[in-house]
Amino acid sequence: MKVLVIFALALIAVQAASDEELWAQYKVDHGKTYRDIKEEQQRFAIFQSSLRTIEDHNAKYENGEESYFLKVTQFADMTPEEFQEYLALNAQSMPQVGDEVYEPEESLQAPASLDWRQKGAVLEVKNQGACGSCWAFSTNIYVHHYLCLTNSYVTIDCAILHSALPGDSPNRWRQENCYNIISDRILKSLHLPSYLQTGCLEGQLIIKRNKKVSLSEQNLMDCSGSYGNDGCDGGLMTSAFQYVHDNGINSEADYPYKGRKGSCKFNRNKSVTKVGKIYAVKKNEDALKEVIASVGPVSIGIDASSLSFYGGGVFNPSSCSSIALNHGVLAVGYGSADGKDYWLVKNSWGPSWGENGFVRMIRNHNNKCGIVSMANFPDLA
């Protein structure tokens, strides 16, 4: 009995040492700094809990009980409650919005699989940092794809894209004034869809006009408040599309990302494009597949509550709402792997998250995670 106790204590000591090493590397990899020793101890305890969650899940993955695996990400020092606050689409029970529902041509035969990255229609993954601007990033990626399919003019090479806040530590977030601190909670609210609004528009620029240009998420954050968006405190993709419809949008080079809401500096003379109609996608997965095949990447809202540590594989969590949507992303393709159909989805949490910034989400599984609950895209004017 005594030997077993000593072995158990030794195992615990080894585990603790391993956690310490992982913690030290984690802080370096993600630029994490904390206010004081007390906060760092609290964050380390949360980090250890995250490690156990990841280890337990991955043991099931190795046994064939799960279709995806987890890994340490920038969110490993956040509690589940704090991560929920990080997600800020706030689209629960949101009605379908659009000028009209898109109807693909009857003769369309969608391919069995499609990846718009292979056609050069998807820009590099960006990083919204701490700011909840995913709605703006979703908008612009779409327009970018559209321009690149209709003329051969290339204004900005994809290689210039950067992570807005590469060291996304809570301390750095505070320095950027991107969120409000409430007691010891890391985030109050974040405006996630701005990254994916720009993404949707960028995609259309590529596909329809063969024009690669990184569009300004900051433009949307600063200037679309009267359309119901609120900078780092949340926004909706369709509202951002409507802003671009009415005003246009500047390039990222002319209006760079700051990661915090500021005064509007939009220059109408330097507008890259406008949008025409805003289309809604029918709320079924076959319809979304047809739209992606015929039009290009589509802005969607999802329940991302379980995505914090996603590392790879086909994401199929045991529980995922089709109604309580909280994150804006971009569907850029679809396919099948190991007998499981999936959607290929571009996120805005940087290239180190997931599969180089992307996630494969289960497809044809009763709209799991709300893939088709709020799918929209614009036509360029």
Helix (H, G, I), strand (E, B) or coil at 230: coil
pLDDT tens digits, one per residue of 313-363: 999 999 999 998 888 899 999 999 999 999 999 998 999 999 999 999 999
Q: What was the pLDDT predicted at 128?
A: 58
For residue 181, being part of any structural domain is answered with yes
Write down the catalytic residue from 131, 134, 320, 369: 134
> For the chain, what's the residue count?
381
Is 33 contained in some domain? no
168: in domain: yes
In a domain, 49, yes or no: no
| Catalytic-residue membership of 144 | no
* Dihedral Cα 338, 311, 10, 5, nearest 10 deg: -60
Q: What letter represents residue 376's amino acid?
A: N
Q: At what angle do helices 237-247 and 134-147 cross, to 10 degrees?
A: 50
Task: Judge whether 178 counts as a catalytic residue.
Answer: no
pTM here is 0.76
pLDDT (0 to 100) of residue 230: 67
Has residue 118 been placed in a domain? yes
| Amino acid at the residue 300 | I
Give the DSSP letter string of 43-107: HHHHHHHHHHHHHHHHHHHHTTS-SEEE---TTTTS-HHHHHHH-----TTPPP-SSEE----TT
**Per-residue model confidence (pLDDT) at position 158:** 23
Query: Annotated catalytic residue: which of 140, 326, 327, 367?
Result: 327
* Nearest Cα to Cα of residue 158 among 197, 207, 212: 212
- We report the CATH number of the domain holding residue 312 as 3.90.70.10
Which of 316, 347, 367, 376 is an active site residue? 347
- Work out whether the CA dihedral 166, 172, 174, 180 comes out positive or negative: positive
Q: Give the number of domains in the chain.
A: 1
Q: Are 172 and 33 in contact (CB under 8 A)?
A: yes
**Assigned domain for 31 exists:** no
- The answer to whether the beta carbons of residues 377 and 291 sit under 8 Å apart is yes
Q: Closest Cα partner for 304 from 236, 366, 233, 359? A: 359
The answer to the question of residue 172 being in a domain is yes
* Annotated catalytic residue 327: yes
Rounded Cα distance between 169 and 376, Å, is: 32
Regions of the chain short of the pLDDT cut 70: 1-17, 88-99, 126-197, 230-235
Q: Does any domain span residue 13?
A: no
Provide the residue range defining the domain that includes 353: 70-380
